[in-house]
Amino acid sequence: MRNVRTRGDMRRQVFIALGLLVFGVATLSFLSTTFYEPRLSLSDIRSAREFLRNLLEEFSTPDAYLRYASAITASSNTTLEQHFLAHIAGEELYGAGGKFADCTLPQEPFAFGCFHGFSIRAITEEGDSILPQLAASCRESFGDQSLPCEHGLGHGVLAALGLEALTPALELCGSASKRYRGGCATGVFMEYNFPTDPTHTRLIVRERGEDLHEPCPRVASRWQGDCYLELPQWWLRILDKDVEAVGALCASVTAEEERAMCYEGIGVHMPAAWHYDRDATAKACMRLSLQPRIRCIEGAASIFITLPGRDREALILCDTLPPESASRCRARIEQNPFFEV
């Protein structure tokens, strides 16, 4: 029987891969067998597309993507490049008549780029009426671990509708997904903060405006928690990882629940910002006052547990907290289905 996962635990699984896009440079190896090893590069997108199209003529769409993914892993130097190459795959799989589930890979090493690319093209070409079908496919493919897949739908919705359509995109997410928090809506907010580059060659960061809490105060109350869960990732980026400044911004959030989710957002995005260095992550969390620090450590620990072979490091992070808080942190980690120690 699976352990029961809390909404917060499930939400955190979204961020391990997505945080890498903003801060990370590491690559994840996920295939024990290498099928093809041509050099794929964003500097030659046409060749990457042609390579995948040839595979699609020879193999089924899932097998073609698996072989293309093997080439991505063998070729790319950065996780950002891998993600964008996977975006291209999603577009091509859709064009070849593939299914959304054909983007599924072991351990999902590309920050769900294939799902992002597939959903953007599908919604652009078929309209937003296809969104419930895509959301259902996420749930069928991943069960209770569908949040990252649904997060990708949020990227697709806003990218297809345009950044000015933030409210309509959120409403579409609400109608397609039954989840109260996380998933599609967080994808919308991440897309707003880091818009998809149509050329797949660079990370675009939303420009800094006068109100650093934008857009959270202006969205409907049901979406503000998701908004503040995402916003610390953008703050860490534009404020050059100034943890104290990000903590102060969270402290200025008026509503208690949204403020707590903001602190949680710092934690879930912090490991990627410090390149998954456990000690550096712990030291960064320690720059916050006690209650925000507890949330930061809990969030960071919940990310480390999803990294292969690093479960014990999650517990070590918990043990940096005062005894009572450390016990609560450990209990949450040990109840997480990713915990294998």
- Indicate whether 227 and 195 sit together in one domain: no
> Is pLDDT of 71 > 70?
yes
Helices assigned H by DSSP within the chain: 7-23, 45-58, 61-75, 79-95, 113-126, 131-142, 147-161, 166-176, 184-193, 221-238, 243-251, 256-273, 278-285, 290-304, 311-318, 323-334
In this prediction, residue 341 carries a pLDDT of: 63
Give the chain's domain count.
2
Query: What does the pLDDT look like over 246-298, one tens digit per residue?
Result: 999 999 999 999 999 999 899 988 988 898 899 999 999 999 999 999 999 99
- Say whether both 53 and 180 belong to one domain: yes
Structural domain ending residue among the three candidates 177, 206, 235: 206
Q: Are residues 212 and 192 in the same domain?
A: no
Q: Note whether 186 and 211 are same-domain residues.
A: no
Residue, of 141 and 238, whose pLDDT is higher: 238
**Residue 254 sits in the same domain as residue 270:** yes
Choose between 128 and 22: higher pLDDT: 128
The answer on 226 and 168 residing in a single domain is no
Q: Are 21 and 3 within one domain?
A: yes
My answer on whether 199 and 213 are in the same domain is: no
Mean pLDDT for the stretch of residues 160-185? 86
Residue 10: what pLDDT? 43
Show the domain range for 315: 207-341
10 Å Cβ neighbour count for 124? 15
CA distances from 101 to 13, 60, 80, 197, 238 (A): 19, 13, 22, 24, 35
Q: For the range 218-224, what are the long-range contacts, defined as Cβ-Cβ under 8 Å and sequence gap of 24 or more?
A: 219/166, 219/167, 219/170, 220/167, 220/170, 222/174, 223/170, 223/185, 224/255, 224/258
pTM: 0.82
Clarify whether residues 66 and 42 are in a common domain: yes
Q: Are residues 194 and 235 in the same domain?
A: no
Q: What is the pLDDT of residues 212-243, one digit of tens each?
A: 999 999 999 999 999 999 999 999 999 999 99
Amino acid at 280: A
pLDDT score at 100:
87
How many whole angstroms separate alpha carbon 24 and alpha carbon 249? Answer: 23
Does residue 28 have a pLDDT over 50? no
Measured in whole angstroms, the distance separating CA 287 from the mean position of its chain's CA atoms is 25
Question: Of 94, 114, 91, nearest to 103 (Cα)?
Answer: 114
Same domain, 267 and 189: no
Last residue of one domain, picked from the residues 153, 187, 206: 206
44 & 189 share domain: yes
Domain-ending residue, one of 206, 232, 262 = 206
pLDDT at 73 over 70: yes
84 pLDDT higher than 70: yes
- Output the pLDDT for position 193: 96
